[in-house]
Amino acid sequence: MKNSILTAFLVLVCMMSAYTQSSWTGPVLTTENDLAVEKYRKMIDAFYSSGITGSFDGAEKVSIHYRYFPQMDSERGAIVISTGRTEAVVKYRELAFDLFRNGYSVYLFDHRGQGFSGRMAEDSEMGHVDNGQYYIDDMKNFYDLIVRKGKHEKIYLVAHSMGGLIGMRYLEEYPDDFNAAVFSSPMLGLSAYICPLAKALSGATPKYAPGQGPYSDDSTAFEGNSVTGSEIRYYHKLAIYTMFPDARVGGPSVQWLEESCKMMKEVFKDSEKIQTPFLLFSAENETVVNPAAAGKFIDRAKGQGKNCERIVIAEARHELLMEKDPQRNEIIGKSLEFFCNY
């Protein structure tokens, strides 16, 4: 059985490596029906296992885990994925698979404090960071140490939620690194009371924000979840943390909230520095981040003459890249079409 799966995977890789710029007419994407087929899921798993993985020392010697999938022949470019809070790179194996078979090399890394990267709090399930700038420093190290070595003609950014805030700050600090960028539900704002509360409660010792705690399986029912309308993708996400318990992250620390609030203030203050064309996607039914902040940021960036656009995805929740097929296909299709222009 293992040999037959590997053979099928190698045949698929050969088909994908035969890609040429002129032959591409649109994205070929995984469907929810595909994910219901065990053989198809194993093909994605085999692809993910084929990735090149490793780690490097990020800021303050915190270990940063990464995995990447280089095209062997021609490519449309390279895509770096900046993930959201609590996420591990293994959660993005379906997206990496789809981007790769559409002609892109794909690079992923775990932000410090989550996934398989190093943790900074004694409680390994606490979502904590000492200094928000370390996120950008880690991403720059990943770009310089790993991504740049691929000598790609074009390099693009796809960034989700917290990874979107980190990615936007990165564009402000390093405006020449990416040819274009796409943001999925970026964390550019939170509920109005959170930042004043975090500032009031912050201290030297990491502690959970009020009402938060370690990872829990108690709230894992699909019904009423705030992140996706795709039941199969929702439960696949949960299965990952059963298979990889070391990748789990629970609620954020007060300090993480305070550092995030500082970054959100800085991202607005420094928006003039952005030179990279970007698309910003928001979910119509967003409840995790503040979507009004995304609208304000786009208005500010457009007023500064930036090449940017905001698109609201109808009937979608926070995790747009893991939504139902119509919503997921829309954001990925428009993103790859956008990249083709740069």
The whole-number pLDDT of residue 217 equals 66
pLDDT along the chain (342 residues), means of 10: 42 44 71 97 97 97 98 94 97 98 98 97 96 98 97 97 98 98 98 92 92 80 91 93 93 97 98 98 97 97 98 98 98 98 96
Burial (CB < 10 A; 0-12, 13-18, 19+), residue 25, is exposed
The whole-number pLDDT of residue 224 equals 86
Residue-wise pLDDT tens digits, 151-171: 999 999 999 999 999 999 999
Measured CA to CA in angstroms, residue 141 lies from 64, 90, 108 at distances of: 10, 21, 13
Torsion of Cα atoms, 232 then 238 then 239 then 244, to 10°: 150
* Every domain of the chain and the residues it spans: 30-340
What CATH number belongs to 30-340?
3.40.50.1820
The whole-number pLDDT of residue 24 equals 52
The whole-number pLDDT of residue 204 equals 87
Q: What is the C-alpha separation between 129 and 214, in angstroms, rounded?
A: 15
The whole-number pLDDT of residue 324 equals 98
The whole-number pLDDT of residue 25 equals 66
